């Protein structure tokens, strides 16, 4: 039985649970539970605070975990990063009061300053790498109010949109560490654990490949098929089926969502009609 530690509440909880659903592993997310077993996969979910997940996986209490890369790096434990999961994206940055921003002249600015953070290890490494001598003030929550409260001169904290910094009169001056949610594995996986982990990875990959893809079908004059094949480079080649009406066929293909409207414009120009755009759930290459 694979035990997977995920965040019990907070930013990564919903997307972690949704990910299991996307890969066909049912998990009872009834929030009250500490441990819940899947009904259709040999897996149980252990709900924890994100700070505890790296250690729980490193110690083997859970075989796998879903957690921010920032927490893994900060805790410095021995776990394998199995997959980047593409959600929970953020960075850890140095920020200073906006009023001081005109004096900012690069990382050396932080010499002799007090910096508040919940990520002392990542910060310590950055300061050492840049030869900066600053004082680290460890705060576990509401780091962004530290300068206004007189606790520190600057902060080193998580930023995603930057809105929290702006509303606290701070300016981001150095982006130090990039993070997203990752699937981690501990050192003591059994052969059986590995087998189920491989199955999870296979399913995750099929979901990842399908992200940002759309399935296109359309009716096309037979005479335009050659042109359409040039517009639609599918996985192997587009599927073409005859229609009952003479001189027409139906063409199917998968396109990147980013190119969708451009492709549709080109296809209409060569006579495509009745274009349908469908979502793609999974792609098994």
Which residues are near ligand ATP by CB under 6 A?
Answer: 7, 10-12, 49-51, 68, 70-71, 88, 90, 158, 160, 179
Phi, psi (rounded to 5 degrees) for 48: -145, 170
- Taken in order 150, 89, 75, 63, is the CA torsion positive or negative? positive
Among Mg ion, ligand ATP, none, partner that 70 touches (CB below 5 to 8 angstroms by kind)? ligand ATP
CB of 75 to ligand ATP, least distance (A): 11
CB of 221 to Mg ion, least distance (A): 59
Nearer to ligand ATP, 144 or 174 (CB): 144
Q: What is the CA radius of gyration of the chain?
A: 25
Neighbours of 24 (CB within 10 A): 12
- For position 74 contacting Mg ion by CB under 5 A, the verdict is no
- For position 52 contacting Mg ion by CB under 5 A, the verdict is no
CB of 64 to ligand ATP, least distance (A): 17
Nearer to ligand ATP, 26 or 160 (CB): 160
Helix axis angle for 191-210 and 13-22, nearest 10°, is 90
CB of 35 to ligand ATP, least distance (A): 16
- For position 44 contacting Mg ion by CB under 5 A, the verdict is no
CB of 147 to ligand ATP, least distance (A): 18
Among ligand ATP, Mg ion, none, partner that 90 touches (CB below 5 to 8 angstroms by kind)? ligand ATP
Nearer to Mg ion, 4 or 158 (CB): 158
Residues 6+ apart with CB under 8 A from 21: 27
Residue-wise burial string across 78-106, b where 16 or more C-beta atoms lie within 10 A, e elsewhere: ebeebbebeebebbbbbbbeeebeeeeee
Kindly report each contact of residues 233-238 with a partner whose C-beta sits within 8 Å and lies 24 or more positions away, as own/partner.
235/283, 235/285
């Amino acid at each position: 039985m694979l035990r997977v530690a995920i965040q019990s509440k907070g930013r990564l909880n919903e997307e972690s649970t949704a990910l299991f659903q996307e890969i066909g592993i049912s998990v009872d997310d009834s929030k009250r539970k500490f441990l819940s077993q899947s009904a259709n996969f040999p897996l149980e979910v252990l709900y924890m605070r994100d700070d505890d997940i790296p250690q729980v996986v490193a110690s083997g209490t859970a075989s796998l975990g879903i957690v921010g890369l920032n927490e893994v790096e900060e805790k410095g434990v021995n776990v394998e990063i199995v997959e980047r999961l593409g959600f929970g994206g953020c960075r850890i940055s140095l920020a200073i009061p906006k009023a001081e921003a005109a004096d900012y002249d690069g990382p050396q600015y932080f010499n002799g300053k007090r910096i508040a953070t919940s990520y002392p290890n990542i910060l310590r490494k950055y300061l050492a790498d840049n030869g900066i001598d600053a004082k680290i003030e460890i705060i576990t929550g509401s780091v962004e109010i530290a300068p206004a409260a007189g606790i520190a001169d600057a902060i080193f904290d998580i930023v995603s949109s930057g809105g929290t910094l702006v509303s606290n009169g701070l300016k981001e001056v150095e982006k130090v560490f990039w993070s997203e949610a990752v699937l981690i594995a501990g050192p003591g996986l059994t052969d059986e654990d590995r087998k189920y982990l491989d199955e999870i990875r296979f399913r995750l990959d099929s979901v990842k490949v399908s992200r940002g893809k759309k399935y296109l079908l359309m009716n096309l004059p037979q005479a335009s098929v050659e042109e359409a094949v040039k517009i639609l480079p599918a996985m192997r080649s587009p599927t073409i089926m005859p229609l009952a009406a003479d001189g027409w066929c139906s063409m199917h293909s998968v396109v990147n969502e980013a190119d969708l409207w451009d492709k549709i414009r080109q296809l209409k120009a060569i006579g495509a009609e009745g274009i349908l755009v469908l979502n793609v759930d999974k792609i098994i290459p």
